């Protein structure tokens, strides 16, 4: 089971999530490394029995603030939709994945944090774009969410977040993540990393969990 909100968060605790098309599949996912799963808003009926992240359509109306609320909402938006998304007031924290050119990513992240939203980092961004993005997030209080194609990218995001908080070279951390440094993080440092990196969405959580366990990174 994921740690309770009162427990200190380890580096890998509730780190990984996955998008599910149905609520039934989402409700079956458990594990200490697993964060609340992502489900589309259309799949959520009634009051689910576990915490969820609800995926919205940028062009659709927001759900009513009354009744059950997710841990977070998340939405993908094109560059031309960003201004409208910035004006959204959601009944729960909102993660926004802006589909903008790499050169515009840091500015989009800054605008999102100023609006009180959580920037999302899509997979496949260039090292310069990620470094500039993290330079914004290291000094914001929103944190960020990310997507990764596999374990290597998850580890690179962890290492890059550590580097951004510590004044190390983020580009170098992305290119050659220092796993030994991640293993040496004291609990307070690990918790600080996770205050910035809120979670990572991956396609195959089972495989990523196995591979992270094999790296002997602490979960508590």
Residue 100 lies in a domain: yes
**Which residues lie below 8 Å from residue 63, measured CB to CB, with a gap of 6+?**
41, 54, 56, 91
DSSP string computed for 27-66: HT---TTBPPPEEEGGG--S--SS--EEEE-TTSPPPPSS
This prediction's pTM: 0.93
Residue 4 lies in a domain: no
Residue 78: pLDDT over 50: yes
Strand partners, 97: 76
Residue 117 lies in a domain: yes
Task: Determine contact, residues 95/72, Cβ cutoff 8 Å.
Answer: yes
At 52 the pLDDT is: 96
Residue 185 lies in a domain: yes
**What is the residue range of 174's domain?**
16-214
Residue 171 lies in a domain: yes
* Residues 94, 193, 176: CA angle, nearest 5 degrees: 110
At 212 the pLDDT is: 96
Residue 112: pLDDT over 60: yes
Q: Summarize the confidence of residues 74-101 as an average pLDDT.
A: 96
Residue 67 lies in a domain: yes
Residue 7 lies in a domain: no
Give how many domains the chain has, as a whole number.
1
128-176 pLDDT, tens per residue? 999 999 999 999 999 999 999 999 999 999 999 999 999 999 999 999 9
């Amino acid at each position: 089971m994921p740690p309770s909100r009162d427990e200190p968060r380890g580096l890998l605790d509730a780190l990984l999530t996955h998008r599910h098309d149905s609520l039934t599949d989402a409700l079956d996912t458990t594990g200490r490394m697993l964060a609340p799963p992502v489900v589309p808003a259309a799949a959520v009926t009634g009051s689910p029995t576990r915490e969820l992240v609800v995926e919205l359509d940028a062009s659709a109306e927001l759900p009513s603030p009354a009744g059950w609320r997710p841990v977070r909402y998340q939405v993908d938006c094109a560059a031309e939709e960003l201004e409208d998304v910035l004006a959204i007031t959601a009944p729960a924290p909102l993660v926004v994945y802006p589909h903008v050119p790499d050169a515009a990513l840091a500015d989009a992240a800054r605008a999102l944090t100023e609006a009180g939203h959580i920037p999302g980092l899509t997979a496949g961004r260039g090292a310069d774009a990620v470094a500039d993005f993290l330079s914004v997030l290291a000094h914001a209080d929103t944190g960020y969410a990310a997507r990764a194609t596999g374990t290597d990218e998850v580890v690179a995001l962890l290492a890059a977040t550590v580097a951004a908080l510590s004044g190390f070279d983020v580009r170098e951390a992305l290119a050659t993540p220092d796993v030994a440094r991640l293993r040496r993080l004291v609990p307070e440092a690990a918790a600080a990393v996770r205050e910035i990196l809120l979670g990572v969405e991956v396609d195959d959580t089972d495989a990523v969990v196995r591979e992270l366990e094999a790296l002997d990174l602490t979960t508590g």
